[in-house]
């Protein structure tokens, strides 16, 4: 396994719409292992394939958020099929280093995807896992958490980030 390079804004790959995975081949198996290793080393709660430069529909989420198996979650072609309620909590992203802000998300989600064996898996959850699933599936649509901040917070982010990068 190897550690991958994490792309940060404004890398255009973060804005790409990820392609569905139709064939879980050795490349995908290897990619998911490398993404897990990369996520652990970077102390991230999750990682989407866009973030390592490959716009395919694959996300990994840290085991600490998995209520069932206590194993790292690998989800292929994930979709949020139901949402309920609303919750405001702080988020960060490995592709937006050093920035944390409160983001409104659905409180509960039902997410569906396939595992590495091509078997359908579902997570009906709240809290941090529900938030991570929304954050990571957004990545696959080219959406970052800073895109869904309130207009005021978004303006403050742009100001802060442009200053940092110049």
Binding site for Ni ion (CB under 5 A): 93
Please say which residue, 75 or 93, places its beta carbon nearer to Ni ion: 93
Q: Which of 90, 122, 126, 136 is catalytic?
A: 136
CB atoms within 10 A of CB 34: 17
Q: How far is the CB of 118 from Ni ion (least distance, A)?
A: 26
Assess whether 90 carries a catalytic annotation.
Answer: no
E strand segments, the chain: 46-48, 58-61, 73-84, 87-91, 101-105, 108-114, 120-126
Torsion of CA 7, 93, 144, 30, to 10 degrees: 50
d(CA 122, CA 82): 11
Q: How far is the CB of 13 from Ni ion (least distance, A)?
A: 13
Q: How far is the CB of 138 from Ni ion (least distance, A)?
A: 8
**Residues classed as catalytic:** 136
């Amino acid at each position: 396994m190897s550690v991958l390079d994490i792309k940060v804004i404004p890398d255009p790959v973060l804005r790409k719409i990820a392609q569905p995975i139709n064939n879980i081949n050795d490349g995908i198996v290897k990619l998911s292992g490398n993404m897990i290793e990369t996520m652990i080393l970077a102390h991230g709660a999750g990682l989407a394939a866009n973030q390592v430069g490959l716009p395919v529909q694959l996300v990994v989420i840290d085991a600490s958020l998995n209520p069932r198996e206590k194993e790292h979650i690998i989800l292929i072609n994930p979709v949020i099929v139901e949402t309920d309620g609303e919750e405001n909590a702080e988020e960060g992203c490995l592709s937006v280093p050093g920035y944390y802000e409160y983001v409104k998300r659905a409180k509960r989600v039902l997410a569906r995807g396939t595992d590495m064996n091509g078997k359908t898996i579902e997570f009906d959850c709240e809290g941090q896992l529900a938030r991570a699933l929304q954050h990571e599936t957004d990545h696959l649509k080219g959406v970052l958490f800073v895109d869904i901040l309130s207009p005021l917070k978004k303006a403050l982010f742009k100001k802060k980030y442009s200053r940092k990068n110049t």
